[in-house]
Structure 1
Amino acid sequence: MPCLQALKRWVNLVIDAALSLTVSKLNGHLSGRFGAPEDIAVLAPLTDPDGKVSELTRNRLALFITNISEDSVPRRGQGRGAPLAGFTAGEDPLHLDVYAMLAASYDANIYGEGLKMLSAALMYFQSYPMMTPQNTPNMPKGMQQLSFEISNLRVEEMGQMWGNLGGRYVPSVMFKIRTVTLTSGAITSLKPAIRKPRRSLFPLREAQS
């Protein structure tokens, strides 16, 4: 049981590091494009525990997890990793598919601004669909690859999803973040930063080149 609990904590830390890195890279791109003085994207749910719209995500892009599943399909070019304490040597690394929603939680009077930021984010992930230690030097140790693809939902699935989330629909897109590879080295360098952005952004124009 202690080993299982340690594994769960380990998985949570690595997923947090993966999504924090994703948001950080996205903010770097959006800041360079629009000259934003504050973070445009945050890693947070849309609503607080009481079901109210969170001030943390108001007038921002919010990235939050909707599901996590194990990817059992073997990956080419990825060997066996060092074992986690308490587990037998030679176990395969753990590959996860993380489903995450990127939602534009903007007020009605700047609804178009949210669409603009969401479109810019989509263009970013289309241009940079994969992170590796080679193109992303600050990837956590032990994490081999993060790839991003859009996960299409039918209308009824989307309605059920937002019903389960307990909130009203906002413009959004579901991403499947594939192959979050966990090895025993992944936990040694994790220091996820907790950043609390200031209040909501005003509409931004693209930075002049």
Structure 2
Amino acid sequence: MIKTALELLVTQLNLHLGDAGSKPVTLGNIAQLENQDSLPTEASIKDKVVLSLVNLEEEKTMKNGPIHKLHNGRKELAERPVHLNMFLLFSANLTHYDLALERLSQILLFFQSHRGFDFHRHNQPEKQLPEAFNIQLDLHTLSFQEINDLWGSLGGKQVPFVMYKARLLRLEAESSGEPAQPITAIDLIHGQRN
């Protein structure tokens, strides 16, 4: 599901930013920046805007809810779905600095006008998006210390970048199929005296 969500974002950005079939945005690990010459050609991140997942966070406020769901007209036990926030780094790894800044501006404008992505608006049959697919993107600003820590942990030199927090990607496993038994009676046992 994570890969599918990120591929959808890359596809939408390439449709918006690309010209004549070019794909200026790619899904990749920006930490490979120093090793890009050893990457296969199809995985190259040279002269591209690279989308990298740098962190995942569980949305704890969404943990409450029923532990059963309705399936084929009957209640079944089901674990609550996991709702994730993804921290997405868009790095403009371009040779020309002015073009890198232009690409970042284009990405900012794109997400300003396209804040959310859901199943109904972005249905791609080949991707098999679930009905519950829905993410919202918010600009995430880092402090100078956080920027230093981020690029230090990625092991590369800083390139122009922007980070977004993609909220509420829902992950849910298939139901176990175990029926949820209804409560039919409550027995209260009080302290008894002989």
1:81 offset after TM fit, Å? 6.1
If you compute each CA radius of gyration, which structure gives the higher value, 1 or 2? 2
State the alpha-carbon separation in 2 of the partners of residues 82 and 36 from structure 1.
Answer: 47
Match of 1:206 in 2: none
Match of 1:158 in 2: 147
| Aligned AA (2:123) | P
Give ranges in structure 2 of 5+ residues lacking alignment. 175-194
**Misfit runs of 4+, over 4 Å:** 79-83
Give 3-state SS (helix, strand or coil) of 1:73's partner: helix
Deviations 1:80-137 (A, max 9, x none): 7689xxxx82322110011110010011xx2111111111011001100001122212
Structure ranking higher on relative contact order (CA contacts 8 Å, 6+ apart): 1
CA 1:82–1:102 in 2, change beyond 3 Å: closer, same or farther? farther
State the alpha-carbon separation in 2 of the partners of residues 81 and 28 from structure 1.
Answer: 38
Match of 1:98 in 2: 86
Does residue 1:116 correspond to 2:99, yes or no?
no
Deviations 1:178-197 (A, max 9, x none): 10012336xxxxxxxxxxxx
Q: Contact 1:81/1:184 (CA < 8 Å) preserved in 2? A: no
Deviations 1:151-200 (A, max 9, x none): 11000110111000000011101111110012336xxxxxxxxxxxxxxx
Q: TM-score, normalised by structure 2?
A: 0.74
Q: Contact 1:46/1:53 (CA < 8 Å) preserved in 2? A: no
| Aligned AA (1:104) | A
Q: Contact 1:80/1:93 (CA < 8 Å) preserved in 2? A: no
Match of 2:29 in 1: 45
State the alpha-carbon separation in 2 of the partners of residues 169 and 38 from structure 1.
Answer: 25
Q: TM-score, normalised by structure 1?
A: 0.69
Give ranges in structure 1 of 5+ residues lacking alignment. 1-13, 186-209
Match of 1:189 in 2: none
